[in-house]
Amino acid sequence: MKYPDRSNDSSRPAVHEYPFWRERSPLRSVVDGEVLPAQADTVIVGAGYSGLSVALHLARAGRDVVVLEKDRPGEHASTLNFGACGRTIRHKFTKVASDHGLETAIRIFSEAKAWLDYTVDFIDREQIDCGFTRAGRVYGAHTPEAFTAMAEDLAYQQRHMPVDSVMIPRHEQQNEVSSDDFFGVQLLNDVGHLDPGRYHAGLLRCALDSGVRVYSGCRAEAFACNRGGYDARTTRGSIHSKELILCTNAQTLGADPVLKKFRRRLIPVHCWSVVTEPLDDQSIRQALPSERMQLETVLFYTAVRVVDPDRRILVCAQHLYDHEDAQTAAVAVLDQAAERMPVLKGIRADYCWYGQFAMTFDWLPHLGTDPATGIHYLIGLVGTGVPASGYLGWKLANRILGNSEAETVFADRPFPTRPFYNGNPAWVLPAVREFYRFRDQRAWRRALVKDPRPR
């Protein structure tokens, strides 16, 4: 099929350089008085999903909770993300079983399923209108070996726990992916997606309604143990609390030793996201035949999904972050996606924005209590924070409250860093990215030469 190339149309409007989600749920500053109160039971740093989730549960249990937010609530990953609501972590089940033992692998993947169920139930219970849909997801294999590895991993996992996924071989994949470049796909039936901005806005509303006091434009700069609790010095005064909780994720920056300690355990991963102009049903189906979210088995992948209400396509690329402005990034991201979805060639980008999420060295999210200071943390959501942060925030609140439902396999695990790593991967991340990109793209090209497109 021939697709019209509209890439040289100079009459196109410029791309909006902010997330598409903000059209329907603009960020709001929450200013609860100019000066911070002198004290609170609990101070939480960060008003993304994680901080608000912990705050909500503590406030509903009767605690006096203050959340400090250096920008506007949700300004970072929580409203910049792709909106996938899944039940996986970055590692394969087999890898986790070999690194941590089979029992731990079962616990980790069972909890990943629990965070999806928790989030679906939470959205329903709190009546958050965020367009959650269990649309499913497909992972396209970039080589026959990648397909076999996915199939073996799934079979191994299904021997030990129920998993709602199936493998679809290359000759049967047409209903799921538009590109013959894939060597089969894995279909995850039970996962979904949502509008991240509306989800965050709903969570913020729940927290405020529960009595949480959120201070935006309030950067926490230094922390000290004092009077059996903590003093947090901020740009809007100091506050004393019995408990201090860090939920700062990829935005963990600053000179305080505690912030530096956590920063050394995080790897910021950069992404550009693009939302296209509205498309007709035929174009959508030519890109995503089943309208399920699509990802690839390469390490630095491109993710694609449909966004409502006016039927656009969202593309998120983890590997094209060298671009300095949204205009050129938008062209690069769509060109990249068009390699597998030719219908996207020349389609107009209406929105393009940049964001960072936080990987950890063991690719697991972490929560716990810093043994040196007693400061609690929920940090390093490894790109799973849409469903994981609500669930893990609830777990952390339960720990602090001494409730029975506090246990989680993600708590108090060793939180690794690397010698000489200061939290800024500088040239190392681009070098790593280039290495894996070259490796994966070469393998993909070679596989296609050996076993060309069947259609």
Ligand X SMILES: Cc1cc2nc3c(=O)[nH]c(=O)nc-3n(C[C@H](O)[C@H](O)[C@H](O)COP(=O)(O)OP(=O)(O)OC[C@H]3O[C@@H](n4cnc5c(N)ncnc54)[C@H](O)[C@@H]3O)c2cc1C
Within 10 angstroms of residue 280's Cβ, the number of other Cβ atoms is 9
Size (the chain), residues: 455
Smallest distance from ligand X to CB 194, Å:
9
Check whether the bond before 309 is cis (ω within 30° of 0): yes
Q: Does residue 42 touch ligand X according to CB under 6 A? A: no
CB under 6 A: which stretch of 44-52, 88-96, 110-118, 119-127 binds ligand X? 44-52
319 — phi, psi (to 5°)?
Answer: -125, 10
Q: Of 184 and 390, which CB lies nearer to ligand X in the complex structure?
A: 390
Q: Does residue 243 touch ligand X according to CB under 6 A? A: no
Smallest distance from ligand X to CB 445, Å:
27
Q: Given candidates 47, 191, 306, 375, which one binds ligand X under the rule CB under 6 A?
A: 47
CB under 6 A: which stretch of 106-114, 153-161, 223-231, 248-256 binds ligand X? 248-256
Q: Does residue 70 touch ligand X according to CB under 6 A? A: yes
Q: Does residue 119 touch ligand X according to CB under 6 A? A: no
Q: Of 92 and 170, which CB lies nearer to ligand X in the complex structure?
A: 92
Q: Given candidates 43, 247, 295, 347, which one binds ligand X under the rule CB under 6 A?
A: 247
Q: Given candidates 146, 271, 344, 447, which one binds ligand X under the rule CB under 6 A?
A: 271
Q: Does residue 302 touch ligand X according to CB under 6 A? A: no
Smallest distance from ligand X to CB 145, Å:
26
Q: Given candidates 381, 397, 400, 409, which one binds ligand X under the rule CB under 6 A?
A: 381
Q: Of 78 and 186, which CB lies nearer to ligand X in the complex structure?
A: 78
Q: Of 297 and 356, which CB lies nearer to ligand X in the complex structure?
A: 356
Q: How many residues bind ligand X (CB under 6 A)?
A: 42
Q: Of 384 and 398, which CB lies nearer to ligand X in the complex structure?
A: 384
Give dist(CA 76, CA 84) in Å, integer. 16
Three-state SS annotation for the chain = CCCCCCCCCCCCCCCECCCHHHHCCCCCCCCCCCCCCCEEEEEEECCCHHHHHHHHHHHHCCCCEEEECCCCCCCCHHHHCCCEECCCCCCCHHHHHHHHCHHHHHHHHHHHHHHHHHHHHHHHHCCCCCCCECCCEEEECCCHHHHHHHHHHHHHHHHHCCCCEEEECHHHHHHCCCCCCCCCEEEECCCEECCHHHHHHHHHHHHHHCCCEEECCCCEEEEEEECCEEEEEEECEEEEEEEEEECCHHHCCCCCHHHHHHHCCEEEEEEEEEEECCCCHHHHHHHCCCCCEEEECCCCCEEEEEECCCCEEEEEECCCCCCCCHHHHHHHHHHHHHCCCHHHCCCCEEEEEEEEEEEECCCCCEEEECCCCCCEEEECCCCCHHHHHHHHHHHHHHHHHCCHHHCCCCECCCCCCCCCCCCCCCCHHHHHHHHHHHHHHHHHHHHHHHCCCCC
Q: Of 170 and 197, which CB lies nearer to ligand X in the complex structure?
A: 197
Q: Please list every residue from 131 through 170 that binds ligand X, using CB under 6 A.
A: none
| Contact pattern for ligand X over residues 212 through 231, marking x by CB under 6 A | -------xx-----------
Closest residue to ligand X, based on beta-carbon distance:
385
Q: Does residue 66 touch ligand X according to CB under 6 A? A: no
Q: Of 147 and 351, which CB lies nearer to ligand X in the complex structure?
A: 351
Smallest distance from ligand X to CB 257, Å:
13
Q: Of 55 and 447, which CB lies nearer to ligand X in the complex structure?
A: 55
At 405, which amino acid appears? E
Q: Which of 99, 122, 100, 119 is nearest to 111 (CA)?
A: 119
Is residue 288 within 8 A of residue 313, CB to CB? The reply is yes
Q: Does residue 273 touch ligand X according to CB under 6 A? A: yes
391 — phi, psi (to 5°)?
Answer: -65, -45
Q: Given candidates 119, 178, 249, 276, which one binds ligand X under the rule CB under 6 A?
A: 249
Smallest distance from ligand X to CB 355, Å:
3
Within 10 angstroms of residue 148's Cβ, the number of other Cβ atoms is 14
Q: Given candidates 46, 184, 229, 425, which one binds ligand X under the rule CB under 6 A?
A: 46
Q: Please list every residue from 81 through 110 that binds ligand X, using CB under 6 A.
A: 81-84
Q: Of 76 and 170, which CB lies nearer to ligand X in the complex structure?
A: 76
Q: Does residue 397 touch ligand X according to CB under 6 A? A: no
Q: Of 204 and 287, which CB lies nearer to ligand X in the complex structure?
A: 204
Taking each helix axis as running N to C, give the angle between helix 102-125 and helix 385-401, from 0 to 180 degrees, rounded to the nearest 10: 90
Q: Of 204 and 279, which CB lies nearer to ligand X in the complex structure?
A: 204
Q: Of 143 and 241, which CB lies nearer to ligand X in the complex structure?
A: 241
Q: Does residue 375 touch ligand X according to CB under 6 A? A: no
Q: Does residue 316 touch ligand X according to CB under 6 A? A: yes
Residues binding ligand X (CB under 6 A): 45-51, 68-71, 75-78, 80-84, 219-220, 247-252, 254, 271, 273, 316, 355-357, 381, 383-387, 389
